Amino acid sequence: MYSQIYGGAPTILSLVLLISAAGVSSALPENPVSRSTLPSGSGSGQINSNSVLVALLDSHYTELAELVEKALLLQTLEDAVGRHNVTIFAPRNEALERDLDPEFKRFLLEPRNLKSLQTLILFHVIPTRIGSDSWPTSEPARHRTLAADPLHLSGSREAKRVDLAAVVHPDSVVRPDGVIHGIERLLVPRSVQEDFNRRRSLASISAILPTGAPEVDPRTHRLKKPAPPAPAGSPPALPIYDAMAPGPSLAPAPAPGPGSGKHWFDGESQVKDFIQTLLLYGGYNELADILVNLTSLATEMGRLVSEGYVLTVLAPNDDAMAKLTADQLSEPGAPEQIVYYHLVPEYQTEESMYNAVRRFGKVRYDTLRLPHKVVAREADGSVKFGQGEGSAYLFDPDIYTDGRISVQGIDAVLFPPEEETPAAVAPTAARKTVKAAKPRRGKLLELGCQMLGAFGQRAHFTTCQ
């Protein structure tokens, strides 16, 4: 019995030792040497605060750092820096702010061109450390970039170049995992330049308006030369009467006329400004009400000014508008015709009109109410419009002048002179015709009639009666 007990003691002791060894091994760190000796440049993608990528984001190359963030390349550059040393060519901020073509910069920042922006940024990074001391000087060296396009490094110790860009700040930032060189301009790979040219060509083609078939001159049987394009802000080719609305335009729906499609000016804002000026000036509320509420002439005037036409408004004041009767305003299109006679398709100020009437005495200005013209003359040191009792004086000069619209206040409503009726002209012409048909006798016939009268035979001849 005792032999069995002594024989089992070694078995129990060995079991206790195994359990103790297992507890000690679990308490110790697993492979502590391998953790402490893991290099920071492993492929895990983790970088420290002393990395060249962190230095780039915190450097004075703010424009390039902003493009890196917009290109969503932070993770890609972290992986590249984690695998090997890199060389970054950073353009100066002025090269990206002022020297870069605005159209090309707008192309890079468009969301659909993200691939081109990423290629452009990676074209400035070489997965090799190239400091200023190891710069190739004898002959140009070719290095492959992260964009898979090569860069050519050349120069000497004093003047170094990267393709066509000069290195202005060699070794601007030096870190254990890379180096940054400052260059004078942006490096553009060929693929990005071709993509930009292709997009620009498509944009220019899509912007071309369709043209009609070529016209042939029937006299010479040759193609007519197209008119040269009009520069921005030039006077319209069509007269203003062809650009007007075809008929009376009653509010609220405007009646648009033919437009050129080239709106060099903001006519709506200018018309709005001059109407607000009338209201603030005081005494011209009735005209403003007709332009905006009773008719749509304000909209039509804005469209004409937008297409390059100029207008001078002879604005009757409220006292003059109050004298209009209901019969004068009740006819269809009457308010439009009244206002049209007060719109001169020229830009005239008080000084220009007064100088004209002082020099020529009487000046006839075209109006938008064809074929009537308004007559201006000098009177009492001012300008007087119209004739007779329907005349008006220039009462408030230069209420609004902006180079496209001129508003001159007058003290009466102008009406075109009455035309003579055909019935009144016809009798006068008839009387003139009868008077012209009266016969005349010559001197010899008159002498013969006198001799016949002496013999009492004058009454027998009808020619002598």
Q: Which pLDDT does position 59 carry in this prediction? A: 83
First and final C-alpha spacing in the chain: 197
Distance, in Å, from the CA atom of 312 to the CA atom of 399, rounded to the nearest integer, reads 11
Please say if the pLDDT value at position 15 is more than 90.
Answer: no
Query: Could you tell me the CATH superfamily of domain 52-201?
Result: FAS1 domain (2.30.180.10)
287's enclosing H/E stretch is helix 285-289
Distance, in Å, from the CA atom of 346 to the CA atom of 312, rounded to the nearest integer, reads 6
Mean pLDDT value across residues 331-344: 91
Please say if the pLDDT value at position 435 is more than 80.
Answer: no
Distance, in Å, from the CA atom of 257 to the CA atom of 372, rounded to the nearest integer, reads 21
Please say if the pLDDT value at position 332 is more than 50.
Answer: yes
Distance, in Å, from the CA atom of 224 to the CA atom of 222, rounded to the nearest integer, reads 6
Query: In whole numbers, what is the pLDDT of the chain averaged over residues?
Result: 78
Please say if the pLDDT value at position 422 is more than 60.
Answer: no
Domain range annotation of the chain: 52-201, 250-410, 439-465
Q: Which pLDDT does position 407 carry in this prediction? A: 95
Give tens-digit pLDDT for 63-117.
Answer: 888 899 899 998 999 888 888 899 999 998 888 887 788 889 888 888 888 999 9
Q: Which pLDDT does position 266 carry in this prediction? A: 83
Q: Which of 49-53, 108-112, 167-171, 228-232 has the lowest mean pLDDT?
A: 228-232
Distance, in Å, from the CA atom of 358 to the CA atom of 293, rounded to the nearest integer, reads 38
Query: 146, 345, 383, 340: which is closest to 247 by C-alpha?
Result: 340
Query: 133, 143, 145, 138: which is closest to 170 by C-alpha?
Result: 133
Give tens-digit pLDDT for 185-221.
Answer: 899 999 999 888 887 776 655 555 556 667 777 778 7
Q: Which pLDDT does position 200 carry in this prediction? A: 76
Q: Which pLDDT does position 50 carry in this prediction? A: 83
Residue partners of 411: CB distance under 8 A and separation at least 6: 316, 317, 319, 320, 392, 393, 395
CATH topology identical between 52-201 and 250-410: yes
Give tens-digit pLDDT for 222-253.
Answer: 877 766 766 766 777 778 877 776 654 444 44
Give tens-digit pLDDT for 268-305.
Answer: 888 999 999 999 999 999 999 999 988 889 999 998 98
Contacts 24+ apart (CB under 8 A), 367-371: 367/340, 367/341, 367/342, 367/343, 368/240, 368/241, 368/244, 368/340, 368/341, 368/343, 368/344, 369/337, 369/340, 369/341, 369/416, 370/241
CATH of domain 250-410: 2.30.180.10
Q: Which pLDDT does position 424 carry in this prediction? A: 44
**In terms of pTM, does the model score above 0.85?**
no
Greater pLDDT, 222 or 182: 182
- How many other CB atoms sit within 10 Å of the CB of residue 232? 8
Please say if the pLDDT value at position 47 is more than 70.
Answer: no
